Amino acid sequence: MVQKALEEIKRGVAEIIDEERVVKLLKNYYENGENYYIKAGFDPTAPDLHLGHTVLIQKMALMQKYGARVQFVIGDFTGMIGDPTGKNETRKKLDRETVLENAKTYKQQVFKILDPDKTDIVFNSKWFTQMGSIGLVELTTTFNVARMLEREDFEKRFKSNTPISISEFLYPLLQGYDSVALKSDIELGGTDQKFNLLMGRHLQRAYNVGKEQAVITMPLLEGLDGVNKMSKSLGNYIGITESPDDMFGKIMSISDDLMWKYYEVLSNKDLEEIGELKRGVKDGLLHPKKAKEMLALEIVARYHDSNKAQNAKVEFDKVHAKKELPSDMDEFTLEAPIWIAKALNIIGLENSTSQARRDIKQGAVKIDGKKCQDEQLQLQKGEYILQVGKRKFAKVRVE
RNA sequence: GGUGAGAUACUCAAGCGGCCAACGAGGGCAGACUGUAAAUCUGCUGGUUUUUACCUUCGGAGGUUCGAAUCCUCCUCUCACCA
């Protein structure tokens, strides 16, 4: 039992630190029925979860089946500082209301995956506002600058003389302290979080919690561009609240290579099955597009339902493979006569009339399926279907 | 605190009195090709209905000049070296 659970848990993970402890926890669950706590922290600034987050969340959901209680930490306090990992931009201070609002959104999204009965949502401001400045200084005495500079991005920035704010040193300490306050048994995070996750271990020791958490890191999921990690600020993400059509289309647009990565960390299919698909594609028995469709169907069905997923697929084929019009389009009413470029701008298909002119020149604009050649064209009364590029459509009534 | 260097469009980065809406690279958008892809090739990438024109942009505010991203003054910010 333990062995099987461990195997499933290990799938797709980047690294497990202190695997022995994980085994112990599992054993204890099966033999004595005792639960254990797994923690993961989330930033309250961006309440929209995307598939990159779900890699982590799905893993937690899996572990809930094996005795884990999830501590879903909303970093409302730490969020004010901002994790220095990656880009460093000063964070806006979030007011209480926004944080609560975001937390609500989190709940809605997260419980599509996690079991609510086995999940605690906690805010880390709860213990940090009570800590006080003395407590904070005490926290800082547990670590030193040299060790702190071991963190890769700090080291890089230090060497290249890029400024590091003192408050950024605080971040790993605070995140680690969450594990002290919550007495977590395991903490999950992306591979870029490794340093912070290990800090939890260090602090649990320093504060004599009586245990040191194991750490499980998950690989970072690349975004749609296939290069950078999926993130909202880069715009290469697939949000779990997106419409079935958008979600389906976005998944279909990833490259074939990336598809397998997605399969590994996002699909519920077991590894053998995925291996078979992979072989099938390699041997030419299975079209890669088919394989990708299956993936897209599975994921869309998870966040919507299988009917909607199926519809999204049909719609997708209709628009892209058969080059027919989508069944749903935004509709607008404009006054006649109207200049085509202006019309495109008003209905939001183009950012400016200048951009519209350029696209018309390039033959990217279609009216009722026919290329528009004349950039001076005035639309007279009637109904038109305007299209820019392959994906942007709108129905326009001119009167 | 002292000295020096720098701030250019989404990002990086040229330009250093007129030929600058500003080289180039990345990104983005579009076209061809395809499986809607990826890769590749090509075009575009400040705005404005009148587009071999006009307007707004090169950290901010003034000034010199027929003319300034380019020169001068002050301010703000960043970096480096020294203390």
Using the CA of A363, give the nucleotide whose C1' is nearest.
B31
The whole-number Å distance from A2's CA to B60's C1' is: 66
pLDDT, tens digit, for every residue of A315-339? 888 888 777 777 777 888 888 788 8
| Helices within A150-210 (DSSP H only) | 152-159, 166-182, 194-206
**Is the C-beta of residue A165 closer than 7 Å to nucleic acid chain B?**
no
Q: For A384, list phi and psi in degrees, rounded to 5.
A: -135, 155
Output the six-digit token pair for A84.
């220095």
C-alpha A264/C-alpha A93 separation (Å) is: 37
Using the CA of A288, give the nucleotide whose C1' is nearest.
B35
Please determine, for residue A348, whether its predicted confidence score (pLDDT) is greater than 90. no
Output the six-digit token pair for A290.
């088919």
The whole-number Å distance from A166's CA to B82's C1' is: 24
Please determine, for residue A144, whether its predicted confidence score (pLDDT) is greater than 60. yes
- Better pLDDT: A68 or A229: A68
C-alpha A346/C-alpha A334 separation (Å) is: 9
Average pLDDT, whole number, for chain A? 86
- Mean pLDDT value of segment A371-396: 86
Please determine, for residue A87, whether its predicted confidence score (pLDDT) is greater than 70. no
**Is the C-beta of residue A355 closer than 7 Å to nucleic acid chain B?**
yes
- Mean pLDDT value of segment A369-374: 84
C-alpha A292/C-alpha A280 separation (Å) is: 13
Please report the pLDDT score of residue A107 as a whole number: 86
**Is the C-beta of residue A88 closer than 7 Å to nucleic acid chain B?**
no
C-alpha A101/C-alpha A79 separation (Å) is: 15
The H or E element spanning position A214 is strand A214-218
Q: Which residue is nearest to nucleotide B31 (CA to C1')?
A: A362
Nearest to A188 by CA among A16, A370, A343: A16
Please determine, for residue A174, whether its predicted confidence score (pLDDT) is greater than 70. yes
The whole-number Å distance from A148's CA to B17's C1' is: 51
The whole-number Å distance from A144's CA to B37's C1' is: 49
Please report the pLDDT score of residue A373 as a whole number: 81
Q: By CB neighbour count within 10 A (0-12 exposed, 13-18 middle, 19+ buried), where does A51 fall? A: buried
pLDDT, tens digit, for every residue of A253-278? 888 888 998 998 899 888 889 999 99
Please determine, for residue A133, whether its predicted confidence score (pLDDT) is greater than 90. no
Lowest-pLDDT range, A86-95, A154-163, A236-245? A86-95
The whole-number Å distance from A303's CA to B68's C1' is: 58
Lowest-pLDDT range, A233-242, A273-282, A290-299, A379-388? A233-242
Lowest-pLDDT range, A136-145, A176-185, A317-326? A317-326
The H or E element spanning position A328 is none
**Is the C-beta of residue A380 closer than 7 Å to nucleic acid chain B?**
no
